[in-house]
Structure 1
Amino acid sequence: MAIHGKSLLLACAALAASQAPALTIVSFGGANQAAQVQAYYQPFQRATGIKVLAGEYNGEMAKVKAMVAARSVSWDVLEVEAPELARGCDEGLFEKLDPALAGARAEVVDGALQPCGIGLFVWSNVLAYSADKLKTAPRGWADFWDVKRYPGKRGMRKSAKYTLEIALLADGVAAKDVYRLLATPAGVERAFKKLAQLKPHIQWWEAGAQPPQYLASGDVAMSSAYNGRIASAQQEGRNLKIVWDGSLYDFVYWAIPKGAQQGAAARRFIAFASRPEAQAAYSRQMAYGPINRQAMALLAPARQLELPTAPANLQSAVRVDSNFWADHGESLEQRFNAWALR
């Protein structure tokens, strides 16, 4: 009888899991999403019986705003960049999250815990180039502008964010002064003036998967790019290289849209994805730094050196100022879009 009772309980549990609403997790797609499926979605589904549906978006908040305003939220967990997280949290688009979801605070990288977000990974926007197209390696963003010595198109993200910082770095502004200067009208003018010099040679990108594609095909000789995307292309045999000098680094976060239907399961997923083992599994596939310090010890030394959080890679890096972009992003993006169309 006890055996039958236990079997019945297991059958009921399996039936309940199969009937439980699926958890919809939306990310930026591409190799990044593929790594998340392997490191997070599938292990979470196996461990909990909660089915995960993978969605994709480009980081635009318009749909999130529309869903929250209509009180009809179909997304449960969202991958969000830091400026959008800060702005969306202020606007009430995201649920407040308990930092304990990420584990012990002492084991979490500084900056990974936000009122409405738990860090997913640390990324870098780097200068990447095709070693097939360029025989002499560029040294930094100043060389990115030197189309005579380094001929070819340049790939840049079609956004004020990151692009304006790069322009100032290329113009000789020290890393520590970038945001102080960019907060002034003179600094903004200087950044746009510098961009105008390169504009005829720019091929814009909007999705993270595009820079390695442009580089591999020879469409561009250099590009700003997410370091993890370039690392994935290298693993596929592409002869692409990274210049870490002047890289921009920041966090990407997990967030839960306000009013998400599966809020409890969403929090359970974030806690699962914040464990060292899960974080290390992700960083083995994508060269982004884990937010849990214990995860680094689970990675091979050679892999650690490929991550944005490696000390050598942080020496001349710029930490993206999310508060700056939360305060100034809307006006700067409007100006950038108008400028890009001219």
Structure 2
Amino acid sequence: MGDQTMKKALILSTALTAVAFAASAEQVTVMSWGGSYTTSQVEAYHKPFTAETGITVVSVDADNPATPLKAMVEANNVSVDIADVEYADAIRLCDEGMLEEIDPEILAAAPDGTPATEDFLPGALTDCAVATIVFSTVFAYDDTKFPNEKPTTMADFFNLEKFPGKRAMRKGAKANLEMALMGDGVPAEEVYALLETPEGVDRAFAKLDTIKNDVIWWEAGAQPPQLLADGEVAMTTAYNGRIFAAAVSENKPFVTVWDGQVYEYDLFVIPKGAPNLETAKQFLTFSTDTQRLADQAKWISYGPARKSSGELVGLFMDGKTEMGPHMPTSEANLENALASSYEFWVDRDSELNERFNAWLASN
């Protein structure tokens, strides 16, 4: 081998090593809600993505990823590539120019070739976000606290006389105002029309007043099952998947009440200024395909946001629990269910949370 050939070979092998190193050094950072929910994403999305691409997925937790994401973009110091947010936040952040627009063409078609735009559930794709799951805020109780009659309706959550014991609720207006009205006898389909009036808002706060002194306020999704397990509360509002995880994986005596559930999408978004934009898009395409969204349901009881994933949902990771009945989208669970109105919350989030915080601070 002549000097020139050797030089070329060396340059080539060095270049290849550099390419291989660059590939292995590639990473994507995903911010989500922690606990059993993040575990479901790590198992269904992160691990298979790394196995297929060699790209490392770094997982970061936040109580509500929309808050740090907004701060990062405003400070022009973005350290995450993908974040999992609620619907109203996805719309608002997109309107504020905080998010990358997502071309639905990059999303995987269903196994039968149906394009993603026709395969995702209605409203699951927006200009800047792709839904992964349908989750719901429900209430749940500790079965051992109610040996005789059991709570079955949203009204029971607010009935301290009939079902004594502390309650826990998320510290914020969203879902609580809706549940307060349903607890006061308003049918699900009439809730938002009423909440759009000052009288309706007053009525919701008046209902919350009836239990205010007996409520512990939670902020992170992992707290409600913990509060129940510690015996600090007899009932709590919670994300349905967290209660399922505690009841099925840890054999806790917790029962989910579906009456008055408020269900909505969680979505993936890419912040403006994401350090690894192309890798973020690659991860997004992978993790929102039919199989991945069905796989997530093996780990937590949230419904996949694609129609084609539904029939692939089978058993929980324990190999024996049928997941269908534990999904917010199961027919039996939708009887008096409320689809969270993102239009309502995009417009009124600030004012209603200001009022909620003032109400919380007052005696």
Band the TM-score falls in, shorter-chain normalisation: over 0.9
Distance 1:315 1:87 in 2: 30
TM-score in terms of structure 2 length: 0.89
**Is the contact made by 1:287 and 1:306 (CA closer than 8 Å) also made in structure 2?**
yes
Q: Which amino acid aligns with 1:126?
A: V
Residue of 261, 267, 270 corresponding to 1:253: 267
Bigger mean CA deviation after superposition, 252-261 or 135-144: 135-144
- 2:22 aligned with 1:16, yes or no? yes
* 8 A Cα contact 1:127 1:140, kept in partner: no
Name the SS of the counterpart of 1:241 in structure 2: strand
| Equivalences for residues 270-309 of structure 1 within 5 A | 270-300=284-314, 302-309=322-329
Amino acid at match of 2:353: E
Counterpart code for 1:16: A
2:194 matched to which residue of 1? 181
CA contact (8 A) 2:63 2:221 kept: no
Q: Deviations over 1:302-342 (max 9, x none)?
A: 21121111122122210000111000000100110111122
| Alpha-carbon distance between aligned partners in 1 of 2:145 and 2:16, rounded to the nearest angstrom | 60
Partner Cα distance (1:102, 1:86) in 2 = 22
Mapped partners of 1:77, 1:29: distance in 2: 14
CA contact under 8 A between 2:65 and 2:84: conserved in structure 1? no
Structure 1 equivalent of residue 132 of structure 2: 120
User: Do 1:102 and 1:118's aligned partners in 2 also have CA atoms closer than 8 Å?
Assistant: no
RMSD, matched Cα: 1.9
By how many angstroms is 1:13 displaced? 5.2
Q: Look up the SS of the partner of 1:94 in the other structure.
A: coil
Distance 1:276 1:62, change over 3 A: closer
Give 1:243 deviation, angstroms.
Answer: 1.0
SS in 1 for 2:145: coil
Q: Contact 2:25–2:55 at 8 Å: present in 1 too?
A: no
1:318 to 338, 341, 347: 338
Given the two structures, how large is their TM-score scaled by the length of structure 1?
0.94
Amino acid at match of 1:93: M
Residues 158-190 of structure 1 show CA distances to partners (whole Å, capped at 9, x for unaligned) of: 110011101011111111111111111111111
Deviation at 1:256, TM superposition (A): 0.5
Contact 2:140 2:254 in 1 (8 A): yes
Aligned residue for 1:284, secondary structure, equals coil
Q: Distance in 2 between matches of 1:212 and 1:54?
A: 22
Contact residue 130 and residue 222 of structure 1 kept, 8 A = yes
1:335 is aligned to 355
Give the superposition deviation at 1:279: 1.1
| Aligned sequence identity (%) | 42
C-alpha deviation, 1:10, in angstroms = 7.8
The letter of the residue matching 2:25 is Q
How far apart, CA to CA, are the structure 2 residues paired with 1:208 and 1:191?
A: 23
Structure 1 or 2, whichever has the larger Rg, is: 2
Contact persistence 2:66–2:85 (CA under 8 A):
no
Cα distance, 1:146 vs structure 2: 1.1
CA contact (8 A) 1:77 1:256 kept: yes
Aligned residues: 337
Decide whether the 8 Å contact of 2:131 with 2:267 is kept in 1.
yes
- The structural deviation recorded for 1:55 is 0.5
Q: Which runs of 5+ in 2 are unaligned?
A: 1-8, 110-114, 316-321
The whole-number CA distance in structure 2 between the counterparts of 1:66 and 1:126 is 30
**Residues 119 and 251, structure 1, Cα contact 8 Å, conserved in 2:** yes
* Counterpart Cα distance in 2 of 1:188 and 1:274: 37
Equivalents in 1 of 2:146, 2:349: separation in Å? 34
Tell me which of 22, 29, 34 is aligned to 1:29: 34
Preserved contact between residue 296 and residue 304 of structure 1 (Cα < 8 Å): no
Residue in 1 that maps onto 2:319: none
For 1:147, give the aligned amino acid: L
Q: Which runs of 5+ in 1 are unaligned?
A: none
Structure 2 distance, partners of 1:63, 1:292, is 28
For residue 161 of structure 1, give the secondary structure of its aligned residue in structure 2: coil
Tell whether the 8 Å contact from 1:25 to 1:53 is kept in structure 2 after alignment.
Answer: yes
8 Å contact kept, 1:102–1:270? no
Query: Is the contact between residue 215 and residue 222 of structure 1 (CA under 8 Å) also seen in structure 2?
Result: yes
CA contact (8 A) 1:82 1:252 kept: yes
Pairing of 1:157-196 with structure 2 (within 5 A): 157-196=170-209
Does the aligned pair in 2 maintain the 1:83–1:322 contact within 8 Å?
yes
Query: 1:60-86 CA deviation, whole Å, 9 max, x = no partner?
Result: 644323322232211110000111111
Residue type at the aligned position of 1:71: N
